[in-house]
């Protein structure tokens, strides 16, 4: 959730969605630019795989541009977009289960070698040690997320990282709000147990972070 204020404003701009629905390719392009990072990060946290996340993100936006005209309520654009992304994530997850080959992204640690990105990042001027610990913790938490079931993981990512309301998540997943809350509860409980196994709690990290 690192959007700038203008970006947030744009996300909620109904006029942009209206223009995009009317076939304005410029507006569609702007929508893609605004939401690309969110959908990519949602997919990335779902798979922890750059290639799969890119695939899902691109397919989501292609689908968005094609089917935007069919969107009835503009206020539900966000949940509608995540619904498309979740469906593609589930499709890719099914394919991945059938395909036992390793993604190139798993073998090649892109982060470790991509120094220009690091240099341009805002963390460049931070303390390298705490930066390393942050990255390590981020990896551990993402791996812990992978151990959850797909249903729990979807809800946790949407709620914790994408900031959707429970109502919006329920709309995106086409289930009741209570079901979403239950999945969230058990997702957090599951994560708690996984992190306890790895001896990672707020107390143990308090000294370091």
40 binds other proteins (CB under 8 A): yes
Helix residue ranges per DSSP H, the chain = 5-11, 14-21, 25-47, 50-67, 77-98, 104-107, 110-113, 115-120, 128-146, 150-156, 166-173, 177-197, 202-206
195 binds other proteins (CB under 8 A): yes
Site for other proteins in 45-84 (CB under 8 A): 45, 57-58, 61-62, 65-66
Site for other proteins in 150-179 (CB under 8 A): 156, 159-161, 165-166, 177-178
Distance, in Å, from the CA atom of 90 to the CA atom of 88, rounded to the nearest integer, reads 5
Handedness of CA 182, 184, 159, 77 (dihedral sign): negative
Distance of closest approach, residue 19 Cβ to other proteins, in angstroms: 15
C-alpha count within 13 angstroms, C-beta hemisphere, residue 66: 7
Footprint of other proteins on this chain (CB under 8 A)? 1-2, 25, 28-29, 32-33, 36-37, 40-41, 44-45, 57-58, 61-62, 65-66, 117, 121, 134, 137-138, 141-142, 156, 159-161, 165-166, 177-178, 181-182, 184-186, 188-189, 191-192, 195, 200-202, 205, 209
């Amino acid at each position: 959730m690192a959007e700038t204020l203008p970006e947030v404003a744009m996300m909620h701009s109904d006029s942009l969605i209206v223009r995009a629905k009317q076939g304005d390719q410029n507006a569609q392009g702007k929508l893609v630019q605004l939401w690309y990072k969110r959908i990519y990060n949602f997919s990335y946290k779902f798979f922890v795989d750059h290639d799969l996340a890119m695939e899902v993100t691109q397919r989501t936006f292609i689908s968005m541009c094609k089917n935007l005209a069919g969107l009835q309520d503009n206020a539900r654009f966000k949940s509608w977009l995540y619904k498309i992304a979740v469906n593609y994530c589930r499709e890719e997850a099914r394919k991945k289960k059938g395909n036992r080959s390793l993604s190139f992204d798993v073998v090649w640690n892109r982060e470790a070698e991509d120094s220009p990105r690091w240099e341009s990042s805002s963390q460049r001027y931070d303390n390298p040690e705490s930066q390393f610990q942050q990255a390590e913790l981020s990896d551990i938490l993402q791996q812990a997320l992978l151990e959850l079931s797909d249903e729990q993981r979807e809800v946790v990512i949407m709620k914790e990282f994408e900031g959707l309301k429970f109502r919006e998540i329920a709309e995106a997943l086409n289930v009741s709000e209570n079901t979403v809350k239950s999945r969230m509860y058990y997702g957090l409980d599951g994560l708690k147990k996984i992190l306890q196994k790895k001896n990672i709690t707020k107390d143990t990290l308090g000294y370091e972070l």
